[in-house]
């Protein structure tokens, strides 16, 4: 297997790295401290194509594969984890609109979404339906040529600051076959937003509850067919797991680079702490875990691009391993900084806070283990890894 990047991929990486270093990293600490949602920077990312990476070309996107997009996201996460993570959520929602909406909705929304001049939120989680997404209860009831939407969604990234919502709703009976997806303008009559949640990390993007009270949505705004919503959501989650795993890898890379530089400068007992064997062993383990996580993520992304029958299992494995490893690497990097790592003047504590939630969202890591183990028990470990 050839692990080297081709010329196009190296160009993507170079472009994303320059953008992260110039437009994101210098401001990340302030965005975090002041809870600033950097819409203008996201618009600039749109000018580079980063807001429609895997949106179909027919809808104005780049039509990239998930591996190529992952290379870009890794570099962006080094600049600001929270902003890169929101960018991936926007990409997921925009690609769903471009792939599954009718021509009218695509023409009305995708040009601005791909450009980053308008932003999208993805709405799946509910107060009583987190890991068990198939039990969601927010409804869309048919009323002539419209649906009437009632219910609520929680933990929605960008809510209150975005322009359009891709919402999973119950249009039929219980279970996954009764779920459909609708495109809903974020300012539609009957939508209200809860307070901005005070979070441990990801402070550069707002998170709110969204409530729907008889929100009228044209049937023409449906994504795909009625009852297709759960399949669309699960397809999105496979890519979302690659995205969030990639954000962990990129942030861990940044933390490791900063820690490696620090231990060579910091002296104790008249010796650079990099010269202590305990430090060297820790750095070696951190790098080994990072490389393993990166390769697992890229393998899963390539499986998704190829339409491999085991792609979902690989995405679950990659998400579990990379988000655990990424958080641990950031936490170990903070430890190498000692007391300075705990102070906000240095970025280590932000890296730790921002990567912690990656072990929870896009399906908790416990749910990732359920997905992998069920597939193993159904088909056998050898079949899974072929």
> Over the stretch 289-336, which tens digit does the pLDDT of each residue have?
999 999 999 999 999 999 999 999 999 999 999 999 999 999 999 999
The gap from C-alpha 322 to its chain's centroid, in whole angstroms, comes to: 13
- The percentage of the chain sitting over the pLDDT mark of 90, rounded to a whole number, equals 93
Q: What tokens does 316 get?
A: 């679950």
Does pLDDT of 10 surpass 90?
yes
Give the residue-averaged pLDDT of 190-212: 97
Among 156, 184, 157, 158, smallest CA distance to 169 is for 184
**Predicted pLDDT at 317:** 97
Residue 123's CB is within 10 A of a number of other CB atoms, namely 26
Confidence of residue 130 (pLDDT cuts 50, 70, 90): confident
Could you tell me the two tokens for 226? 């009625």
Residue 383: the pLDDT is 74
Percent of the chain with pLDDT over 70: 99
Q: CB-based contacts of 308: which residues, under 8 Å, 6+ apart?
A: 314
- Taken in order of first residue, the domains within the chain and their CATH numbers are 7-118 (1.10.540.10), 121-227 (2.40.110.10), 230-385 (1.20.140.10)
Structure tokens at 364: 């908790």
- Block residue for tokens 């308008």: 118
pLDDT grade, residue 384 (50/70/90)?
confident
**What is the reported pLDDT for 100?**
97
Confidence category of residue 203, pLDDT binned at 50, 70, 90: very high
User: Tens digit of pLDDT for each residue in 61-116?
Assistant: 999 999 999 999 999 999 999 999 999 999 999 999 999 999 999 999 999 999 99
**The token pair that represents 75 in the structure block:** 């570099």
Question: 170: which strand partners?
Answer: 139, 179
- Contact by Cβ (8 Å): 325, 292: yes
DSSP, residue by residue, 26-84: GGHHHHHHHT---HHHHHHHHHTTTTSSSS-GGGTS----HHHHHHHHHHHHHH-HHHH
d(CA 100, CA 168) in angstroms, rounded, equals: 13
Q: Are 13 and 71 spatial neighbours (Cβ–Cβ below 8 Å)?
A: yes
Confidence of residue 133 (pLDDT cuts 50, 70, 90): confident
Question: Would you name the residues annotated as active-site residues?
Answer: 362
**Cα–Cα dist 240/297, whole Å:** 12
53: which 2 tokens?
A: 């990476």
CB-based burial label for 144 (10 Å; 0-12, 13-18, 19+) = exposed
CA–CA dist 15, 85 (Å, integer) = 18
Give the chain's mean pLDDT. Answer: 95
The per-residue pLDDT for 56 is 96
C-alpha–C-alpha distance, residues 237 and 357, integer Å: 16
What is the CA 95 to chain-centroid distance, rounded? 13
The residue length of the chain stands at 386
Q: What are the start-end ranges of the E strands in the chain?
A: 120-123, 139-143, 146-157, 164-170, 179-185, 191-193, 207-218, 222-223, 267-268, 271-272
pLDDT value of position 379: 80
Cβ atoms within 10 Å, residue 77: 32
Confidence of residue 206 (pLDDT cuts 50, 70, 90): very high
Give the confidence band of 350 by pLDDT, cuts at 50, 70, 90. Answer: very high
pTM: 0.95
User: What whole-number distance in Å separates Cα of residue 269 and Cα of residue 256?
Assistant: 23
pLDDT category of residue 255 using cuts at 50, 70 and 90: very high
């Amino acid at each position: 297997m050839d692990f080297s990047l081709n010329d196009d991929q190296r160009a993507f990486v170079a472009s994303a790295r320059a953008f992260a270093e110039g437009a994101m990293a210098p401001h990340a600490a302030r965005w975090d401290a002041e809870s600033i949602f950097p819409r203008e920077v996201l618009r600039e990312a749109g000018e580079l194509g980063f807001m429609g990476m895997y949106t179909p070309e027919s809808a104005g996107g780049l039509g990239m594969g998930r591996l190529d997009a992952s290379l870009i996201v890794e570099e962006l996460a080094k600049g600001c984890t929270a902003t890169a993570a929101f960018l991936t959520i926007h990409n997921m929602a925009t690609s769903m609109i471009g792939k599954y909406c009718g021509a009218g909705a695509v023409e009305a929304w995708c040009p601005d979404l791909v450009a980053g001049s308008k932003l999208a939120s993805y709405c799946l989680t509910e107060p009583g339906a987190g890991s068990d997404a198939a039990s969601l209860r927010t409804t869309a009831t048919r009323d002539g040529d419209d649906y009437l939407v009632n219910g609520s969604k929680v933990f929605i990234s960008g809510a209150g600051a975005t322009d359009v919502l891709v919402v999973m709703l119950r249009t039929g009976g219980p279970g996954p076959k009764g779920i459909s997806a609708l495109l809903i303008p974020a300012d539609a009559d009957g939508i209200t937003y809860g307070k901005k949640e005070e979070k441990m990390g990801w402070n550069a993007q707002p998170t709110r509850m969204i409530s729907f009270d008889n929100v009228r949505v044209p049937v023409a705004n449906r994504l795909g067919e009625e009852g297709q919503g759960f399949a669309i959501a699960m397809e999105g989650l496979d890519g979302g797991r690659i995205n969030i795993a990639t954000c962990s890898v990129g942030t861990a890379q940044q933390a490791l680079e900063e820690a490696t530089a620090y231990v060579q400068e910091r002296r104790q007992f008249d010796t650079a702490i990099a010269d202590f064997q305990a430090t060297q062993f820790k750095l070696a383990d951190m790098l080994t875990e990072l490389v393993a996580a990166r390769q697992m993520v890229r393998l899963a992304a390539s499986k998704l691009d190829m339409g491999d029958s085991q792609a979902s299992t690989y995405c679950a494995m990659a998400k579990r391993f990379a988000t655990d490893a990424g958080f641990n690497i950031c936490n170990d990097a903070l430890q190498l900084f000692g007391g300075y790592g705990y102070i906000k003047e240095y970025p280590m504590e932000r890296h730790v806070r921002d990567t912690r939630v990656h072990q929870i969202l896009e399906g908790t890591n416990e749910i990732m283990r359920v997905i992998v183990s069920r597939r193993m028990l159904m088909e056998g470990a050898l079949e899974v890894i072929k």
